[in-house]
A and B are shown apart, each in its own frame.
Chain A
Amino acid sequence: MNEKWNVSSSPHIRDKATTGNIMLLVVIALLPATFFGIYNFRSENAWLLVVVTTGTAVLTEYIYEKLMHKPVTIKDCSALVTGLLLALNLPPTLPLWMGALGSVFAILVVKQLFGGLGQNFMNPALAARCFLLISFTGKMTYFVYDGVTGPTPLADLKAGEAVDTMSMLIGNIRGTIGETSVLAIMAGAMFLILMGVIDLRIPGTYIVTFVIFITIFGGHGFDPQYITAHLCGGGLMLGAWFMATDYVTSPITKGGQILYGVCLGLLTGLFRLFGGSAEGVSYAIIISNLLVPLIEKVTLPKPFGKGGEK
């Protein structure tokens, strides 16, 4: 007998989790917000926008990788996540072609041209949202709910008007497709926490820092009504739980994740209170994405035996 067996370096066993099934869990977690949005806006355009934006993202990845003779990676579901997140960040009335253009920008320019999965330095969906916001400001800030056009509650809040925090919690307000229902977003976020996909470090510090910032600089002191309105308004919840926690564009070090959350909270507060627009989450996140390498540099952990064991 002279049989030869497989050899490889240890370890010889592997955990079941794969990139594909982690991404799939994120998609599942986004479904409550997606379905709520489609139901909420009761417009054909809303669900078509979700389908077109998501489909274009996946198709762009497929075509690019085929043309470049690279292995096709659409099975890892990361393009699906990007497309879906972008759709949830768009107003329900946006022309479909703009959504498609956003997806091409996200996948082609932000992700693939920088080396594909894991190499992009900005969240592709948010970068695409900002790209669309700058290019088509009118369409991107045109919000309708129940046939009535008007400002989002967050803009009302900035203008000093009263807002209904209960509807902001449930989500029957003006806004982008996926950002309005705090309840639906939190259901998805809880699911991700329970499945071990995300933890509280980034969203927790983000939200706490933001609350402290607006308490100090918001001009209302510690007013629960005002703070709740800020937390439930705009893209803060969607951003904090689903975009700031994007693995690729957030720090890998634990201390870094805390610092990153603080940066996000400060920038969001700064943009919302002192900026020209009522919203500031997208810009806060993509600017913080750029700070990640620096944040990691100053938060390198101490190894075991040199202080890191505790």
Chain B
Amino acid sequence: MGLLTFKGGIHPNDGKSLAKDQPIMELLPKGDLVYPLSQHIGAPAIAAVKKGDHVLKGQKIAEAGGFVSAPIYASVSGTVKAIEKRLNPTGSSVDCIVIENDGAYEEAEKLPVKTIGEMSRDEILNTIAEAGIVGMGGAGFPTRVKLSPKEPDKIDYIIANCAECEPYITADYRRMLENTRELVNGMRIVLSLFENAKGIFGVEDNKPDCIAKLKEAIKDEPRMEVKVLQTKYPQGAERQLIYATTKRAIHAAMLPADAGCIVDNVETLIGIHYAVAEGRPLTERIVTVSGDAVQNPGNYKVLLGTNHRELIEAAGGWKEEPQKLISGGPMMGFAMITLDAPVTKTSSAILAFKEDIVAKSQVSACINCGRCVEVCPSRIIPSRLADYAERHDEEIFVNQNGLECVECGSCSYVCPAKRPLKQAIGSMRKIALANKKKK
């Protein structure tokens, strides 16, 4: 009782014990580094180097392609080998900058650093944009844009998404334990942009050590608070997290700022700290390597652009040949067609499983059991929406609130008939959203 939460949701086996107790280890890449120009939402970045150029670690290699975009920095020193199409983790062939690592890790000049008190609002925002910070929980939305709502005075809460509700992933968990100071300072920097806002760390109650550590770290911070959330998937979904921590509810057509909230993930806030307080642009992130097919699951500090194969090698290779690889979590991550893809700003994990449960499941007829309705955090009727989607009835799909879906996959997870509900609803949503934009 008393734990903050939302209605609906599921309790899958969290698998976190595999990697949870492995401290973050640094991984230095041996092979080439690959940087997709589009690893965020918005316009792709524009390459600022050409083949043959020598680059330094922390040197900007691609400029933001617009306001909603983000620049990209080299994570090693070396030579630009090519600018060509390569596969990204989701299996699409995209424009990438390829850098041959010279192993020297020669560093470029850092971004200018001042104490927070001396920086103006615009200076801080520009540093965040300049450092290439995007939402690193998975969405990849440019953080500067998120931190620039129309009316900054009306922002009441900055919520640090410390839920990490996806099974298996423990990257944020390790960050909260090992980089508490940086996380809190990231929050301090963001709070300095919003005079009237309070900072909330929303942590699930399966991480008591993080809760204790954060509470200790903020005891002298009158504007910050730790809120303990019920452990339940998808507690870390933006809308559900806002509701759990503030009791404010927004629907699909609203932005968190409309409810006076801004949500940032752990890794993002730490990135903000490094950028603003230490002048270091975004060149690394924590990636969890886990799953039952991995020899030694763990958490790695990985330079962006590192090939996933090197991560698996670092974790001791396969325990058993996997059937399925997932970039991100098992609920919302992407199945990877090949290991040969780089770590990007939004890669939170690579998971390898001996068995592909989805391929094994036999799809049968809906028996109207209502389990999908029970668990849907958006409080819609997934089984019916999937039916409308399957017969391409866009009008009724939109009418029955199909666009409210957050694509958390809880419905597909519980369905006893093993129907791919989220897949059907997700495809229809894409079409309906595109058509809505046209109008």
Q: Residues of A with Cβ closer than 8 Å to B?
A: 1-15, 17-19, 21-22, 73, 76, 78, 116-119, 247-248, 250, 252-254, 300-306, 308-310
Check: B120 CB closer than 8 A to any chain A CB: no
Please measure, in the bound complex, the distance between the C-alpha atom of A300 and the C-alpha atom of B384, giving whole angstroms.
11
B residues adjacent to A (C-beta < 8 A): 6-7, 10, 12-13, 91, 167, 239-240, 243, 249-252, 254, 309, 322-326, 330-340, 353, 356-359, 361, 364-371, 373, 377-381, 383-384, 400-401, 404, 409-410, 412-418, 420, 422-423, 426
Q: Do A116 and B418 contact each other (CB < 8 Å), given the known contacts A6-B324, A13-B330, A303-B404?
A: no
User: In the complex, what's the smallest C-beta–C-beta distance from B148 to chain A, in angstroms?
Assistant: 23
Q: Is the CB of A14 within 8 A of B358?
A: yes
Q: Given the known A-B contacts A6-B359, A14-B357, are A309 and B379 also in contact in the complex, defined by CB atoms under 8 Å? A: yes
Chain A residue numbers with a CB within 8 Å of B250 are: 305
Neighbouring A residues of B377 by C-beta, 8 Å = 304
Nearest CB in chain B: distance from A65 CB, A: 12
With A14-B358, A18-B416, A119-B365 already in contact, the answer to whether A305 and B404 are too (CB < 8 A) is yes
Residue of B nearest to A115 (CB): B365
User: Which of these, A252, A300, A305, contacts B239 with CB under 8 Å?
Assistant: A305
A1 — which chain B residues lie within 8 A by C-beta? 309, 339-340
Q: A8 to B359, Cβ gap below 8 A?
A: yes
Which chain B residues lie closer than 8 Å to A302 at the CB level?
379
* CB-based nearest A residue for B249: A309
Q: Distance (Å) between the CB of A202 and the closest chain B CB?
A: 11
Contact pick for A22, options B252, B309, B325, B369, CB 8 Å: B369
Interface residue from A2, A5, A252, A309 paired with B7 (Cβ < 8 Å): A309
Q: Given A5-B337, A12-B335, A252-B384: A247 and B249 within 8 A (CB)?
A: no
15 CB < 8 A contacts A-B = A5-B339, A6-B359, A8-B420, A9-B420, A12-B357, A15-B10, A15-B414, A117-B365, A118-B367, A247-B369, A252-B383, A304-B378, A305-B252, A309-B6, A309-B243
Are B333's CB and A12's CB within 8 A? Answer: yes
Contact A14 B338, beta carbon cutoff 8 Å? no
A73's nearest neighbour on chain B, judged by CB, is B364
Min distance, Cβ A79 to any Cβ of chain B, angstroms: 13
How far is A11 from B167 in the complex, measured between Cα atoms in Å?
Answer: 11
B-chain residues with CB within 8 Å of residue A305 when the two chains form the complex = 239, 249-252, 254, 404
Which residue of the partner chain A has the closest CB to B407?
A: A10
Judging by beta carbons under 8 Å apart, are A11 and B409 in contact?
yes
State A293–B32 Cα separation when bound (angstroms): 60
Q: Are A10 and B332 in contact (CB under 8 A)?
A: yes
